[in-house]
């Protein structure tokens, strides 16, 4: 090994000093002193050799580097000498740092990454709203967008899009893919350039242009990435479309987000609003709008302009809808990034706090370990002080050890993070818009290093300061055994252990609340029987089924064929399914409409065909179900759920009449059914009205502004395992139309459990972190008390010699542990009261201050503390007074 230059110089200086000493000694010998005497007095005259060397080396300038290396070598030696301590400390830190790195890598990929568009901070998502009738946040309706685009001045560009699904057919199996209608302005505004061909032209914003832009994925999959694809035609919903462009692989749009509820499109077609859409005043609030804020305009200014423009837009509404507007049309803008991240922000924030707590607990643990070890090192420290080490130098030395531990923990933590991260991401349910892969990039690495250093500061400083304070006087006199001098150390350890318990308590309360709400979710009665139910979606392409009668006939036959399958008890079609109610409509009640017409409330609405209630197992409470007699020509009827009946007709709903539009006819309520969970199981129950598909006039059926009458869901109640029927059902549908794409084939049980998946994910994650915290806190309290017992063996021996019973000793140690845990719990309770409010949106059916959870958690915590303390307490009772005293 090559000798570093400073070591050479160092050795030279050592030689120089040696020479000095020898010459001084020689001179004294020459004067007649004995050799030993001369040597000693030469040394005495010289002074503190080590110190002179230190001070001189400092002149060299690179002393600090040298000292660092020295400290590092020393630290390594110390850590190697205590493998047990080192392993426990490094593992503890690795768990803490690993958890932080894993969560941070997700936060980094989701919250901190800018959207993959040009200057994304200026992109805003624009919304309309009718807050007074329960829609605070809507997308734009085409006519409103037209007026707004014409009048607004805050945005340099506006882009509109609307997600949908299309059937791609032609070669091979028909395929249903995610698509989006987009305005020509959208791609340029986002800064997206096509890889091949061109973007849409503004002339293509008008209807009548069958052009399509492909995603990279679809281009590869269907066209093998052929470059001559531009100009070819493909069939979309059975219409020929000319391919004009291919987007690059990196371009993903729409971005999936919680409130956007969209899938990245595989094909893009022009938005080309139809004349009917452009006249869809007061409805069709389904077009997403993104705007690029002008450089000189602030978000607040834009919002101000939008507020006043909302009134101008409202002035354009037809008179018949003026009632809607009396409730106030609003417009506002939200940063696109915020919109995309949405509710995940809360989840990630809570997770970040949770892992932060775990790290703090890990640090407290290592700090108590260091404090315990400082006791065994007191002699060493005293000797080093006696030899001239300053307190600063001692602190620096001990801190170097801490850094070492932390970096080793960080390195191991990185491995843990790499592993747990993929584990966590694999658990991410579709309902939570987290990416399934996140990179560990430079940012994440920097975070890990920073967290490691921070951890070293947290756990290293207090023990270093504490054990270097007054290091000289005590231990040498004391003979190295803990006595009075260990009291401040014990107090400090107590502080750490109590803080661990406080932190663990907060985490446990969080986890407890989530578990309680998850249990509540599981116990929720969905209002229908999810077992033995098969559901699937049969979308009919508009172009292939242009006439209302065709649509109706197709669905009628499909229903009959499905119902006739062996093993099928009941079959029904519906515009939506339980847990996934989509459409909200406002209506008026006979005799109760105000001057403007409708009551301002909106209710869920489903169109049903066949034995829907029997199939779903929704019980009929009053009146009747729909029958085959409910036809277009007969009296219009509706069935309402219990919530709706109670809300509007506490006196009894049967026979009451409602209507939807000004020109619609009155519908009579003929039945009341039980409430069904409309959304994810954690949502509240809402009024719901069911209307018979068979009463839709064929002309309306053709128009189908929401696309719902073309996209009916088939449900089958089966006698056997529902999945065994799926191929038979699809075969029946294909016997009617070979080119139809049948999608969303699921059992209802799957749908129910996927609606649990979001809360389950959160609960599992926070629960795991809380368990980790509890485990670390238990180790912490165990470690401290085991140490205290070991240190006080002598005292305990004396007590026992003086007649203390093992029971007393046991109680003494237990009492100490429980006191620490209790103090921690009280502090933790106060913190938890403040912090659980953050989680409100993640909870269902329990308050953020649920007393049962709080009490339960304290009980668990004290119980775990008791268990952890039992071992050292038992060991204390085993102390043999004779041995303990002789040990002295």
Partner 1 sequence: MKPRYQNRIELLQGTLDLLILQTLQWGPQHGYGISQAIRNRSGETLQVDTGSLYPALHRLEGQKWIKAAWKTSDNKQRVRVYQLTAAGKRQLLSERSRWQQISDAIAGILSPAKENQA
Three-state DSSP state, 760: helix
Q: Does 11 bind partner 1 (CB under 8 A)?
A: no
Least distance to partner 1, CB of residue 432, Å: 58
In this structure, the strands spanning 175-182 and 267-270 are parallel
Give the nearest distance from C-beta 399 to partner 1 in angstroms.
18
CB closer to partner 1, 23 vs 276? 23
Closest CA to 306 of 148, 169, 455: 148
For residue 26, state whether it binds partner 1 (rule: CB under 8 A): yes
Could you say which DSSP state residue 845 is in? S
User: How, if at all, do strands 667-673 and 637-641 pair?
Assistant: parallel
CB of 100 to partner 1, least distance (A): 38
First to last CA, the chain: 47
Choose, by CB under 8 A, the member of 15, 151, 590, 721 that binds partner 1: 15
Residues 508-537: b if buried by 16+ CB within 10 A, e if exposed:
bbbbbbbbbbbebbeeeebbbebebbbbbb
Of 49-57, 229-237, 517-525, 830-838, which segment contacts partner 1 by CB under 8 A?
49-57
Give kind and range of the element (H or E) at residue 613.
helix 612-616
**524 alpha carbon, distance to own chain's centre:** 24
Q: Does 70 bind partner 1 (CB under 8 A)?
A: no
Could you tell me the smallest distance in angstroms from the CB atom of residue 40 to partner 1? 16
> Applying CB under 8 A, which of residues 14, 37, 58, 664 lies at the interface with partner 1?
58
Query: Per rule CB under 8 A, is residue 16 in the interface with partner 1?
Result: yes
Residue 27 or 151 having the CB closest to partner 1: 27
**C-alpha span between 406 and 414 (Å, rounded):** 12
CA distance 888 to 886: 5
Map residues 330-369 to x or -, x wherever contact with partner 1 holds by CB under 8 A: ----------------------------------------
The strand pair at 667-673 and 657-659 is best described as: antiparallel
Do the beta carbons of residue 228 and residue 221 sit within 8 Å? no
Query: Nearest distance from residue 388's CB to partner 1, in Å?
Result: 5
Nearer to partner 1, 25 or 177 (CB): 25
47: contact with partner 1 by CB under 8 A:
yes
Distance separating alpha carbons of residues 766 and 10, to the nearest angstrom: 55
Residue 240 binding partner 1, by CB under 8 A: no
Q: Is 390 in the site for partner 1 (CB under 8 A)?
A: yes
Q: Are strands 233-236 and 533-539 parallel, antiparallel or unpaired?
A: unpaired
Residues facing residue 240 across a β-bridge:
235
The least CB distance from residue 343 to partner 1, in Å, is: 58
60 binding partner 1? (CB under 8 A): yes
19-27, 237-245, 396-404, 793-801 -> range binding partner 1 (CB under 8 A): 19-27
Q: Which of 52, 76, 804, 870 binds partner 1 (CB under 8 A)?
A: 52
Q: How far is the CB of 60 from partner 1 (least distance, A)?
A: 7
Using CB under 8 A as the binding rule, whether residue 48 contacts partner 1 is answered as yes
Give the residue with the Cβ less far from partner 1, 27 or 553. Answer: 27
Q: Which is nearer to partner 1, 56 or 719 (CB)?
A: 56
Q: Does 7 engage in binding with partner 1 (CB under 8 A)? A: no
Q: Name the residue nearer to partner 1 (CB basis): 57 or 326.
A: 57
Q: Give the span between the Cα atoms of 673 and 138, in whole angstroms.
A: 29
Q: Tally Cβ neighbours within 10 Å of residue 294.
A: 15
Phi, psi (5° rounding) for residue 711? -130, 60
Q: How many residues bind partner 1 (CB under 8 A)?
A: 26
The answer to whether 83 contacts partner 1 (rule: CB under 8 A) is: no
Nearer to partner 1, 54 or 259 (CB): 54
**Closest approach of Cβ 114 to partner 1, in Å?**
50
465 within 8 A of 332, measured Cβ to Cβ: no
Q: How far is the CB of 23 from partner 1 (least distance, A)?
A: 4
Q: Which residues pair with 576 in a beta bridge?
A: none
Burial class (CB in 10 A: 0-12, 13-18, 19+), 372: buried
Region from 50-58, 254-262, 767-775, 791-799 binding partner 1, contact rule CB under 8 A: 50-58
- Residue 340: count of CB within 10 angstroms of its CB: 21
| Distance between CA atoms of residues 202 and 185, nearest Å | 7
Residue 489's nearest CA partner among 456, 467, 472 is 467
The angle subtended at Cα 107 by Cα 128 and Cα 188, nearest 5°, is 50
Spatial contact of 192 and 247, defined as CB atoms under 8 Å apart: yes
For the bound state, the minimum distance from the C-beta of residue 79 to partner 1, rounded and expressed in Å, comes to: 27
Is residue 735 a contact residue for partner 1 (CB under 8 A)? Answer: no
22 interacts with partner 1 by CB under 8 A: yes
Q: Is residue 64 within the footprint of partner 1 (CB under 8 A)?
A: no
Residue range at the interface with partner 1 (CB under 8 A); choices 59-67, 120-128, 288-296, 731-739? 59-67
Indicate the pairing of strand 602-610 with strand 584-586: antiparallel
Member of 8, 34, 56, 525 binding partner 1 (CB under 8 A): 56
Which residues of the chain form contacts with partner 1 (CB under 8 A)?
12-13, 15-17, 19-20, 22-24, 26-27, 46-48, 51-52, 54-56, 58-61, 388, 390
């Amino acid at each position: 090994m090559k000798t570093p230059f400073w070591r050479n110089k160092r050795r030279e200086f050592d030689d120089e000093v040696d020479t000095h000493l020898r010459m001084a000694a020689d001179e004294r010998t020459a004067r007649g002193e004995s050799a030993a005497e001369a040597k000693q007095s030469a040394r005495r005259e010289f002074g503190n050799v080590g110190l002179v060397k230190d001070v001189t080396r400092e002149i060299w300038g690179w002393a600090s580097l040298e000292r660092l290396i020295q400290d590092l070598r020393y630290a390594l030696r110390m850590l190697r000498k205590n493998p047990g301590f080192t392993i426990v400390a490094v593992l503890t830190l690795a768990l803490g740092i690993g958890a932080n790195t894993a969560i941070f890598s997700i936060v980094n990929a989701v919250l901190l990454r800018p959207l993959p568009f040009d200057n994304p901070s200026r992109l805003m998502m624009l919304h309309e709203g009718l807050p007074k009738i329960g829609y605070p946040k809507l997308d734009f309706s085409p006519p409103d967008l037209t007026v707004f685009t014409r009048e607004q001045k805050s945005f340099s560009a506006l882009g509109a899009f609307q997600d949908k699904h299309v059937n791609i057919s032609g070669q091979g199996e028909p395929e249903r893919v995610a698509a989006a209608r987009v305005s020509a302005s959208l791609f340029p505004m986002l800064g997206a350039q096509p890889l091949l061909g061109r973007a849409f032209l503004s002339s293509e914003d008008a209807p009548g242009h069958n052009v399509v832009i492909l995603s990279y994925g679809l281009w590869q999959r269907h066209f093998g990435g052929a470059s001559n694809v531009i100009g070819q035609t493909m069939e979309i919903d059975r219409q020929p479309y000319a391919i004009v462009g291919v987007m690059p692989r990196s371009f993903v749009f729409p971005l999936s987000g919680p409130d956007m509820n969209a899938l990245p499109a595989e094909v893009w077609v022009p938005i080309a609003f139809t004349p009917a859409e452009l006249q869809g005043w007061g409805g069709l609030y389904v077009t997403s709008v993104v705007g690029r804020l002008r450089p000189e305009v602030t978000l607040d200014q834009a919002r101000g302009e939008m507020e006043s423009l909302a009134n101008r837009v409202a002035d354009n509404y037809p008179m018949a809808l003026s009632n809607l507007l009396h409730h106030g049309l609003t417009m506002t803008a939200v940063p696109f990034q915020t919109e995309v991240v949405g509710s995940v922000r809360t989840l990630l924030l809570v997770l970040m706090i949770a892992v932060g707590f775990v790290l703090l607990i890990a640090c407290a643990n290592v700090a108590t370990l260091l404090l315990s070890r400082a006791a065994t090192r007191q002699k060493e420290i005293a000797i080093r002080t006696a030899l001239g080490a300053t307190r600063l130098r001692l602190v620096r030395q001990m801190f170097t050890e801490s850094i070492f531990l932390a970096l080793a923990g960080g390195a191991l933590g990185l491995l843990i993070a790499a592993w747990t991260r993929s584990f966590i991401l694999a658990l991410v349910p579709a309902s939570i818009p987290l990416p399934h892969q996140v990179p560990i990039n430079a940012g994440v690495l920097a975070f890990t290093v920073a967290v490691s250093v921070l951890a070293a500061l947290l756990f290293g400083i207090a023990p270093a300061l504490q054990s270097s304070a007054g290091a000289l006087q005590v231990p040498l006199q004391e003979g190295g055994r803990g006595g009075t001098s260990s009291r401040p150390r014990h107090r400090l350890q107590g502080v750490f252990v109590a803080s661990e318990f406080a932190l663990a308590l907060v985490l446990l309360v969080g986890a407890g609340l989530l578990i309680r709400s998850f249990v509540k979710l599981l116990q929720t009665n969905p209002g229908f029987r999810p077992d033995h139910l098969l559901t699937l979606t049969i979308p009919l392409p508009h172009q292939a089924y242009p006439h209302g009668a065709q649509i109706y006939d197709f669905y009628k036959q499909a229903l009959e064929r499905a119902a006739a399958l062996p093993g099928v008890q009941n079959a029904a079609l519906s515009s939506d399914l339980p847990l996934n109610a989509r459409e909200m409509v406002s209506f008026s009640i006979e005799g109760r409409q105000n001057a403007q017409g409708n009551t301002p409330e909106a209710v869920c609405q489903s169109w049903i065909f066949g034995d829907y209630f029997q199939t779903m197992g929704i019980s009929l409470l009053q009146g009747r179900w729909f029958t085959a007699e409910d036809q277009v020509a007969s009296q219009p009827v509706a069935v309402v759920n219990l919530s709706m009946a109670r809300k509007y007709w506490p006196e009894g709903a049967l026979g009451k009449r409602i209507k939807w539009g000004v020109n619609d006819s009155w519908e009579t309520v003929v039945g009341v059914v039980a409430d069904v969970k409309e959304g994810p199981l954690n949502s509240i129950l809402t009024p719901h009205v069911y209307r018979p598909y068979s009463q839709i006039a064929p002309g309306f059926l053709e128009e189908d502004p929401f696309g719902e009458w073309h996209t009916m869901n088939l449900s089958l109640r089966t006698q056997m395992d529902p999945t065994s029927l799926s191929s038979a059902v699809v075969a029946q549908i294909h016997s009617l139309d070979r080119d139809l794409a049948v999608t969303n084939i699921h059992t209802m049980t799957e749908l129910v459990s996927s609606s649990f998946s979001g809360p389950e994910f959160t609960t599992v994650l926070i629960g795991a972190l809380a368990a980790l915290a509890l485990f670390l806190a238990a180790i912490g309290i165990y470690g401290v008390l085991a140490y205290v017992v070991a240190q006080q063996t002598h005292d305990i021996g004396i007590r026992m010699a003086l007649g203390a019973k093992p029971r007393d000793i046991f109680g003494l140690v237990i009492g100490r542990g429980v006191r620490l845990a209790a103090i921690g719990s009280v502090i933790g309770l106060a913190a938890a009261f403040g912090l659980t409010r953050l989680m409100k949106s993640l909870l269902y059916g329990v308050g953020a201050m649920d007393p049962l959870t709080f009490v339960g958690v304290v009980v668990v915590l004290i119980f775990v503390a008791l268990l952890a303390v039992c071992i050292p307490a038992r060991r204390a009772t085993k102390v043999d007074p004779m041995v303990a005293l002789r040990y002295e």
